[in-house]
């Protein structure tokens, strides 16, 4: 950590506040200077049409300069803040694995240098080379020290280790000889280093004993000494569930048989693509999730624009989305959530576009295009994480409400045509169109929907696994079905507990964050916790009741869609009894925020002022800035985490 970070952490309680202020300031200045339109932000007047019982298409509103301004500014600001300290590119990746159980390697410290710690980092070895087990972890590795290479003293036994995480063993005596004994074949070590932590030096060592003709020589243990980080942080190693997802992604990159997989593999394959492109290091692991997190910003704006039909409220919602804690924390860690939530948002966006069409004045091909993209994104959501299936229920509800509405239109039109009772000549023309074309179009649409919402997602789900090595006997439909059963039984039977587990009602009240990471240095700390922006969450809790009351008073299609999307994303978790965490609320977050915007819009219309909206938005932004050290790992003081940011007793941030 450089001195500027220390200074910022001590003085401003945020080690990255200076680059954040400068960077965001430049982005806002440039966007305002070159993108902000000079004309006033006037909303287009709605197209007024005579109201008939037949649903007409809602025309798409063309994006203008203001839309471009908001989207570019929010996307760049969020992308810049979220990429700061995303991860380093320095980490040992070559590995050594034992030839046989009980393999020994002896190292000699050159020039009798003084060291006070032994550092090891383990990853995953060549699973294809040893079909009887998996090469992963460093459990039960024994370290011995000797002065004469004859009599050895036990220094330590490594009994717990995690994928791509450093293990540091303090050494009281600087033995010239170090012996490593590996009692089983399934251990693997990427690198071992003898370090002087005071001088921050990695000491030169040599190999004096190795297994003859070993497939993996002991020199692989000391070939990346320059990649060792003596004082590692989350930027230099994996943390939380990265130990599972990154491992699976690297297995895909290396063509390895997978150790285990309890989720579908599309998100993991996307992660693997960026690892192959950028490298096997923390930055490469997390870049894909960061990119999808950034892409969610314009997608959210488009979603809000379609529902609210107003660029100002779309901008308000996007601002709230950008400063939500859950969004930035979850898109900075190499897990599956950024991919799954992106596809969930995408499938609702395309369904909304379809719902805005009409059988009487929209070409069938255009409707099918929206349904096709909706089915594609739904299949991708399924193939990333099963939470996509929860939200698919919302799509089904929306589609069938719309479909039965079309059938009702057809029945009314048939009755009018039989009775020759029309309001005017135009209605008579519309009735003729409905009676003569609806049935054929409805039947064709149902057949098309079976293809895009049933067959296509299944093909995507089953097809994405073909390129991966999950089974030693190869890919087959039978193996895929067995894998689905295995995943279901794993999740349904999981009996694990966790000190930071929570329940759905705690998510909507922001009561129980999950603590991902902590590193302390004197009075400073680097901490990462996953929860929601409390201003947004508590406003959202009020908005649930407020918007529910609005729906009881009057019909609002956009609000109805938002409610259905939220309830189908959140509702199934009310029935789950296994160990769950606050990040499971992430798929509900976009729709929770949209409820807040609907509430603010209604308050503005009734009060004829924007004071409440300004308070909610600016307070959310300020709270986001204040909590950045607790959600992004930026250095701050322990007193700041323990004191000022500990708003609730259940918030353990340090």
- Domain contains 237: no
Note whether 524 and 475 are same-domain residues.
yes
Query: How far is residue 640 CA from its own chain's centroid?
Result: 27
Q: Is the pLDDT of residue 407 over 50?
A: yes
* Block residue for tokens 């991902």: 516
- pLDDT of 47 > 70? The answer is no
- Domain match, 107 and 79 both: no
Residue 117, beta-bridge partner list: 170, 195
Give yes or no for residue 119 having a pLDDT over 60.
yes
Same domain, 587 and 503: yes
- Rounded to whole angstroms, what are the CA distances from 512 to 328, 521, 541, 580? 18, 26, 15, 11
Residue 494 lies in a domain: yes
Assess if residue 253 is contained within a domain.
no
Shared domain for 564 and 454, answered yes or no, is yes
In the chain, what percentage of residues exceed pLDDT 70? 98
Rounded to two decimals, the pTM is 0.96
Same domain, 165 and 69: no
129 confidence band (pLDDT: 50, 70, 90): confident
> Residues with Cβ < 8 Å from 260, sequence gap 6 or more?
244, 248
Token duo for residue 533? 């922006």
- How many CB atoms sit inside 10 A of residue 393's CB? 15
Q: Which range marks the domain in which residue 223 is found?
A: 103-227
Average pLDDT on 124-135 reads 77
pLDDT tens digits for range 495-546: 778 888 899 999 999 999 999 999 998 899 999 999 999 999 999 999 999 9
Give dist(CA 605, CA 612) in Å, integer: 11
* Lowest-confidence segment of 59-68, 121-130, 375-384 by average pLDDT: 121-130
Average pLDDT over residues 564-583: 92
pLDDT digits (tens, 9 = 90+) for 434-463: 899 999 999 999 999 999 999 999 999 999
Are 209 and 357 in the same domain? Answer: no
Identify whether 283 is part of a domain.
Answer: yes
| In the predicted structure, residue 311 carries a pLDDT above the cut 80 | yes
User: 621 with 477, same domain?
Assistant: yes
**CATH number of the domain bearing residue 142:** 2.60.120
Asked whether residue 193 carries a pLDDT value surpassing 50, the answer given is yes
pLDDT for res 53: 82
- DSSP H/E element including 518: strand 514-521
Q: Is 109 helix (H, G, I), strand (E, B) or coil?
A: strand
**Confidence at residue 131, expressed as pLDDT on a 0 to 100 scale:** 67
In a domain, 468, yes or no: yes
Can you give the pLDDT at residue 1? 46
157 is written with which tokens? 């036994």
**390 & 507 share domain:** yes
* 564/428 same-domain check: yes
Q: What is the pLDDT of residue 48?
A: 63
Residues 457 and 590 in one domain: yes
What is the gyration radius of the CA atoms in the chain, in angstroms? 29
264 within a domain of the structure (yes/no) = no
CA–CA gap between residue 248 and residue 164 (Å, rounded)? 12
Residue 284 lies in a domain: yes
The average confidence (pLDDT) of the chain is 92
For the ranges 44-48, 258-262, 380-384, 475-479, the maximum mean pLDDT occurs at 380-384
Tokens of 236: 């230099």
pLDDT in tens, 353-405: 999 999 998 999 999 999 999 999 999 999 999 999 999 999 999 999 999 99
Of 51-60, 86-95, 317-326, 501-510, where does mean pLDDT reach its minimum?
51-60
The SS3 assignment for 142 reads: strand
Residue 653 has pLDDT above 60, yes or no: yes
Question: Domain boundary at 212, 227, 242, which?
Answer: 227
CA distance 406 to 409: 5
Q: What is the DSSP string of 543-588?
A: HHHHHHHHHHHS--HHHHHHHHHHHHHHGGGGS--S-B-GGGGGGG
Using alpha carbons, select from 523, 507, 531, 540 the residue that is nearest to residue 652. 531
Number of independent structural domains in the chain: 2
Contact 251, 268 (CB under 8 A): no
- At 623 the pLDDT is 97
Average pLDDT over residues 401-412: 93
The three-state secondary structure class of 201 is: strand
Interacting residues of 519 by C-beta distance below 8 A, sequence separation 6+ = 233, 234, 525, 526, 527
pLDDT at 268 over 90: yes
438 shares its domain with 326: yes
Residue 247 lies in a domain: no
Do 63 and 120 fall within a single domain? Answer: no
Average pLDDT over residues 475-495: 89
Query: Tell me: the pLDDT tens digits for 152-190?
Result: 999 999 988 889 999 999 999 889 999 999 988 888 999
The percent of residues in the chain predicted with pLDDT above 90, rounded, is: 77
What is the structure's pLDDT at 2?
A: 56
């Amino acid at each position: 950590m450089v001195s500027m970070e220390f200074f910022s952490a001590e003085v401003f309680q945020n080690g990255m506040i200076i680059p954040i202020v400068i960077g965001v300031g430049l982005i806002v200045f440039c966007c305002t200077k070159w993108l902000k339109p000079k004309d006033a932000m006037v909303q287009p007047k709605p197209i007024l049409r005579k109201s008939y019982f037949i649903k007409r298409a809602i025309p798409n509103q063309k994006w203008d300069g203001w839309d471009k301004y908001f989207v570019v500014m929010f996307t760049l600001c969020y992308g810049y803040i979220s990429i700061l300290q995303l991860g380093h590119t320095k980490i040992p990746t070559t590995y050594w694995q034992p030839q046989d159980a009980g393999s020994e390697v002896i190292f000699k410290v050159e020039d009798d240098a003084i060291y006070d710690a032994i550092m090891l980092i383990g990853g995953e070895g060549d699973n294809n080379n040893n079909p009887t087990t998996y090469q992963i972890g460093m459990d039960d590795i024994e370290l011995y020290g000797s002065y004469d290479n004859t009599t050895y003293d036990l220094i330590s036994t490594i009994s717990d280790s995690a994928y791509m995480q450093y293990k540091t063993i303090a050494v009281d005596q600087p033995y010239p000889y170090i012996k490593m004994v590996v009692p089983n074949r399934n251990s693997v070590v990427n690198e071992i280093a003898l370090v002087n932590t005071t001088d921050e030096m990695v000491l030169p060592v040599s190999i004096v004993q190795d297994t003859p003709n070993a497939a993996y020589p002991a020199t692989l243990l000391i070939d990346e000494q320059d990649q060792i980080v003596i004082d590692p942080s989350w930027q230099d190693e994996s943390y939380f569930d990265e130990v599972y997802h990154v491992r699976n992604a690297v297995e895909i990159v290396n063509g390895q048989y997978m150790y285990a997989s309890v989720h579908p593999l599309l998100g993991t394959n996307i992660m693997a693509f960026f690892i192959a492109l950028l490298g096997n290091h923390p930055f490469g692991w997390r870049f894909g999730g960061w990119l999808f997190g950034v892409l969610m910003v314009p997608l959210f704006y488009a979603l809000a624009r379609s529902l609210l039909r107003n660029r100002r409220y779309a901008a308000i919602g996007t601002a709230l989305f950008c400063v939500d804690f859950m969004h930035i924390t979850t898109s900075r860690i190499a897990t599956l959530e950024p991919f799954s939530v992106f596809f969930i948002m995408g499938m609702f966006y395309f369904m909304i576009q379809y719902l805005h069409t009409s059988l009487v004045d929209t070409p069938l091909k255009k409707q099918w295009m929206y349904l096709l993209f909706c089915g594609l994104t739904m299949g991708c959501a399924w193939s990333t994480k099963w939470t996509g299936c929860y939200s698919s229920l919302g799509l089904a509800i929306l589609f069938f409400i719309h479909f039965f509405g079309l059938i009702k239109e057809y029945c009314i039109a048939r009755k009018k045509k039989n009775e020759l009772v029309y309001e005017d000549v135009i209605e008579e023309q519309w009735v003729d169109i409905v009676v003569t074309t609806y049935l054929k179009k409805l039947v064709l649409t149902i057949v098309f929907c079976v293809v895009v919402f049933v067959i296509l997602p299944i093909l995507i789900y089953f097809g994405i696994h073909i390129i991966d090595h999950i089974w030693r006997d190869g890919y087959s439909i039978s193996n895929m079905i067995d894998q689905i059963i295995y995943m279901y039984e794993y999740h349904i039977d999981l009996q694990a507990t966790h000190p930071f587990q929570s329940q759905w009602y705690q998510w909507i009240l922001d009561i129980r964050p999950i603590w991902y990471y902590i590193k302390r240095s004197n009075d400073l700390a680097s901490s990462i916790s996953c929860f929601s922006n409390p201003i947004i969450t508590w406003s959202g809790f009020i908005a649930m009741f407020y918007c529910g009351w609005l729906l009881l008073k009057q019909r609002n299609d956009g609000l109805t869609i938002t409610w259905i999307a939220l309830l189908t994303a959140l509702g199934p978790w009310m029935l789950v009894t296994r160990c769950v965490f606050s990040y499971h609320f992430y798929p509900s977050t976009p729709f929770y925020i949209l409820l807040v915007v609907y509430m603010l819009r209604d308050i503005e219309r009734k009060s004829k002022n924007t004071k409440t909206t300004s308070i909610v938005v600016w307070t959310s932004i300020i709270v986001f800035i204040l909590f950045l050290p607790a959600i992004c790992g930026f250095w701050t003081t322990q007193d700041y985490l323990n004191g000022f940011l500990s708003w609730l007793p259940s918030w353990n941030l340090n």
